[in-house]
Structure 1
Amino acid sequence: MAIAACGQAPDAAPTESASTAAGGSSESTSATTADGDVNKDFLACLVSDAGGWDDKSFNQSAYEGLNQAVADLGIKSNTAESTQTSDFAPNVDSMIQGGCGLTIGVGFLLAEPIAEAAKNNPETEFALIDSSFTDASGNAVTFDNARPLLFNTAEASYLAGYVAAGTTKTGAVATFGGLPIPSVQIFMDGFADGVAKYNEEFGKDVKLIGWDKAEQKGTFAGTFDEISQGQTITEGFISQGADIIMPVAGPLANGAATAAKAHEGTMVVWVDSDGNQSAPEHKDVILTSVLKKIDASVADTVALAAKGQFTNEPYVGTLENGGVSLAPFYDFDSQVPQEVKDGVKKLEEQIIKGDLKVESPNAPK
């Protein structure tokens, strides 16, 4: 997803190699040691989606995963921060020319430049967050040197929708997206099904505003950059009676939280990161968060590459493997009915066991 910068930058900065910083050798520093041994000269690199590393969401989580890998493995890293879509291809190329053994693109919108780079640089390794690779006709393609990092967030969003429906005081909840892309719509699909499950189980009629799963149509800001759009859309939902809103729009969640604060009793559901920790200034309105462990997937992929064990097998985060999850309710714990907490626990167990299938046309293939 295209994400815009907001708030304070993360404290830890990636380690930049001398060659990339000075525009030096373009020779790849891919892992050449025996399997299992870390190549300390390995250079792992990350290209952001539009915005920056301090979005308190998507890019920041990937950034933190890279930093963790550097700290754990003692390797080198470099990053390229994109501010617009036209930066993507040049930034990916700059990483290759700088000698990166692994270059990771953050987000669906980097699919084309990462795929092109993987095709043209077979001796270098790549990864792409939130998208698989497809050809011009939309058919799935694979590259021996490129790994998709995917997340079935519909599973965790299902639980969030159930909680929202069981906690609302007005009988209406809402969700909106930044752009109508699969990695956004999958959250909205799960949320819709979770609301429907609560209604079915308790004989209620909680209304969902902003998304029609069957029609795959809903409310989108058309951007991930303009925080004010999140506030405007949320104000509109509140005027329609919604008191719990899930923005799937990166930094626009900050705008949604601002709107919620102006209306007592209104809450938001954060996505990607644990908003209570990544955006503590908004914790007074964050009911829970749908977590996508981007940081862990990045750290894992970097470790494999640095040990000479890189694989193109897709990583798919699920409730079962901990790649996605629902955050605690923190200060709102007392406001979530016990029957809803019990229901969430039971549903999570059913999903993990495979007894309950959360389906979405936007799920990782």
Structure 2
Amino acid sequence: MKVTTKKAGIAGLAMFGAAALLAGCASAPDDSGDGGSDTAIDFQPCMVSDAGGFDDKSFNQLGFEGITKAAEELGVEAKTVESKDETEYAPNLTSLVDQGCDLIVTVGFALSAATVESATANPDVEYVIIDDAADNDFDGTVDAENIKPILFDTAQAAFLAGYAAADYTTTNVVGTFGGMNFPTVSIFMDGFKQGVDYYASENGKAVKVVGWDGTDGSFTGGFEANDQARQTAQALIDQNIDVLLPVGGPIYQSAAAAIRDSGREIALIGVDADVFETDPSVGDLLLTSIRKGIDVGTYDAVLAAGNGEFDASPFIGTLENEGVGLAPFHDFESKISDTLPDALDALQASIISGDVVVNSYLSE
């Protein structure tokens, strides 16, 4: 099935600033893995997580894997710091600067303000921020010349997931909820709803999306796997859904617990990583996952910086450059319709060609 992409390259971005960023995008990261060196170099790569931590089985973990792989190939050791909450972002960055870091990778839009402040104060240090444009004044440009944003138009891959969910559902009700209503969260929900609606119009099957109306919806108020996330998932389960997309790092764990408690057959859709691989404990529930190439995007950026080739141009992951995509159906291969894989292949090609338009703040 072609829509299952390989791991290749890779948002607090304001909608009206996206077009300017896209105009200057870098090419897709190279997954050749041949940029390493046998000789130790004078280069110190560093990373700060958001409050999810490096074991979130999602984007923090993927970023950690990317910097670790690059550091190994460069013959150096990465310094990595976990943040327990938002009050630690700025102090963690200051600490890494003081320790002589040449490149600092910050994981997630929550670190945007702290990253811009640190980069502005330390122009000789190079920065990479994952899932954010570092455009806090919303003028369509990165706020410091030494920051490279790595962004993902996940609406495209989520569109495919929505189409698959609409094809799979038997209750004709599917649901989604997020951590907080930020662009990097709602972009998944937007694409998912558009994909469901597209399937309905193309196939004459009335499928309802609950939890997101295109503007607002169900949110937990944070990104922790807790009772609030479980209650939010349960509220959607009570509306007769049989497919659920939680968007917000580890909140999927609470959704999985609610699904198991329900005793019903409800399929889960993962985000960021192929959750079937990162968290096998929920593998039996996963229809698919909406992937971002965070690991390889981070690897590429760190490797380039270590080789003296840091490029601050923003990178936008799309279906075309394989920065985003669907994970395999894994245990659900035998449960999906025979026609779905070919339909998704054709749909992906239509999105890439522009025949099918997927709207997102990164495509405007």
Q: TM-score range by the shorter chain?
A: 0.7 to 0.9
Letter in 1 for 2:102: G
Q: Distance in 1 between matches of 2:351 and 2:99?
A: 44
Matches within 5 A, 1:221-240: 221-240=220-239
**Secondary structure at the counterpart of residue 240 of structure 2:** coil
Matches within 5 A, 1:352-363: 352-361=352-361, 363=362
The structural deviation recorded for 1:254 is 0.5
Letter in 1 for 2:133: S
**Secondary structure at the counterpart of residue 174 of structure 1:** strand
Unmatched tracts of structure 1, length 5 or more: 3-34
Letter in 2 for 1:63: F
Partner of 1:250: 249
Question: Runs in 1 of length 4+ with deviation above 3 angstroms?
Answer: 35-39
Count of equivalent residues:
329
Partner of 2:7: none
Letter in 1 for 2:248: A
Letter in 2 for 1:126: Y
Q: Distance in 1 between matches of 2:56 and 2:94?
A: 24
Could you give the per-residue CA deviations for residues 221-256 of structure 1, whole angstroms, max 9, x where no partner exists?
001024332321111111101010000011110011
Could you give the per-residue CA deviations for residues 58-96 of structure 1, whole angstroms, max 9, x where no partner exists?
211111111111222212210111011000000111111
Answering whether residue 336 of structure 2 is matched by residue 336 of structure 1, we say yes
Q: Distance in 1 between matches of 2:216 and 2:81?
A: 34
**Secondary structure at the counterpart of residue 176 of structure 1:** strand
Answering whether residue 187 of structure 2 is matched by residue 186 of structure 1, we say yes
Is the 8 Å Cα contact of residues 112 and 136 (structure 2) preserved in structure 1? Answer: no
Partner of 2:130: 129
Higher relative contact order (CA 8 A, sep 6+): 2
Letter in 2 for 1:64: E
Root mean square deviation of aligned Cα: 1.8
Is the 8 Å Cα contact of residues 175 and 188 (structure 1) preserved in structure 2? Answer: yes
Q: 1:89 to 1:116 in 2, by over 3 A?
A: same
Is the 8 Å Cα contact of residues 52 and 250 (structure 2) preserved in structure 1? Answer: no
Is the 8 Å Cα contact of residues 71 and 303 (structure 2) preserved in structure 1? Answer: no
Unmatched tracts of structure 2, length 5 or more: 1-10, 13-34
Partner of 2:289: 289
The percentage of aligned residue pairs carrying the same residue is: 41
Answering whether residue 140 of structure 2 is matched by residue 161 of structure 1, we say no
Is the 8 Å Cα contact of residues 57 and 272 (structure 1) preserved in structure 2? Answer: yes
Q: 1:135 to 1:254 in 2, by over 3 A?
A: closer
**Secondary structure at the counterpart of residue 158 of structure 1:** helix
Partner of 2:351: 351
Letter in 2 for 1:352: I
Letter in 1 for 2:149: P
Could you give the per-residue CA deviations for residues 196-222 of structure 1, whole angstroms, max 9, x where no partner exists?
011011011100000011xx1111000
Matches within 5 A, 1:34-113: 40-113=41-114
**Secondary structure at the counterpart of residue 127 of structure 1:** strand
